[in-house]
Structure 1
Amino acid sequence: MTTLKNAVVLVTGANGGLGRAFVAEALQRGAAKVYATARTPREWSDERVVPLALDINSPDSVAAVAEQAADTTVLINNAGISDSGQPVLSTPLDAVRSVFETNVFAQLAVTQAFAPVLARNDGGAVINVHSALSWLGVGTYSATKAAFWSFSNALRVELLDQKTHLLGAHLGYTDTPMIAALDVPKEDPRDIVAAIYDGLEAGEPEVLADDTSRQVKQALSGPLSGLYPQLQAAG
């Protein structure tokens, strides 16, 4: 189990709606320090927050932050981009690769850079932010989340040797700038983050943070038409 009390937390994508909630809730739970990273860091009113510039797509930037934040005990891979909901067949391959670079390979690069940091700090923990769309294919974004989820499953086992706990967090539509344009019911980021941190502190390997993620994962054990009703209509 990993406690947030006196932890040193690093949040990628800290300027976004979910990122801000990760920072605020970590402080509420007694974190000693929170590195709030973003390509253009914002100012924070709490002196325990240390803003750092981080471009997760830049190996040099990742390496520099891993050196600056060498006391990190909890890494939260939260940064990511969407694909604007474009159909896979009509999306140029360069655009597909770009989403994979950020949502998959950059996440792996950050984890690889911080794994030795966490090992030196008694193991610590990694939180990887996935999605209910890890299990429901509706475009390039969901494909990247599925790939990231698979990497998390592999990393979780590999990190055991250094006593680092990895938690995969899945969530549905949440009220963040990334999906601000969507007219759908949305979860409160504070509720989602609270559920994720509860799972971390309980030692859970995975958190299904809302009804949507729980329903989608449960449907995986049924026929594909349960997830894709279009298949039934086509038959």
Structure 2
Amino acid sequence: MAARSYPIDLGWLNGTVFAHRGLHNSGVPENSMAAFEAAIEAGYGIECDIQRARDGTAMVFHDWELERLTGETGPVAKRDAQSLGAIELRGGAGQTIPRLADVLKLVAGRVPLLIEVKSKRDHRVSAVCLAIRRTLEGYRGPHGVMSFDPRIACWFAVHSPETPRGLVVTEQDDTALPGRIRRRLAIRHAKPDFLAWDIRDLPSRLAAAQRRKGIPLTTWTVREPEQRATAERYADAPIAEGNGFG
């Protein structure tokens, strides 16, 4: 994998406060259209999660299984988009699982959008990446795609090089030498345009080194004022929820 051979404008990333899974609360479910509408009204960027439906549609949903967030059970990947779109989210009357296409139509470039792609080590990533790329075709608002899995960034580098690509990183419970080596190799392999770093790990020598190279650094999930202060000192953009908005 080669680094990007042409400059990309990520000025929209610096200083933006992103609402983690939208601006959700006890009456507004995470990753719902209502949460995204609230984030836009408040002037926040949006971070959302993507799962692939059985028919190849990019759906906005965090978990692999339906149980925590809905009254249904079973894997998201076993349902088609029509079925998933009819499932009501817990904690919000009338809010159902949205498609990425619906979210793009709602946002319409008004605020920046970070799209986190869920993956598993034993899964092929091409199917979900292709679903996202097809949905993003023609979208001109500021956006980026990111994942813990460096294969996601590599796929977009080859098949959708105009899409800003990011790597999500955590050092938690993996601070020994093998973990440090894995993180450096993941960054080298992914060649990300930006990074999304675990707030619990900041300040981080590795994150600071990447930032000195000119790679913008977002940080997640900022939930408290103290974490917000850390984010403002050591990162370029917080991904926040709850009390983390300051």
Superposition TM-score tier, normalisation by shorter sequence: 0.3 to 0.5
TM superposition score normalised by structure 2: 0.35
TM-score by length of 1: 0.37
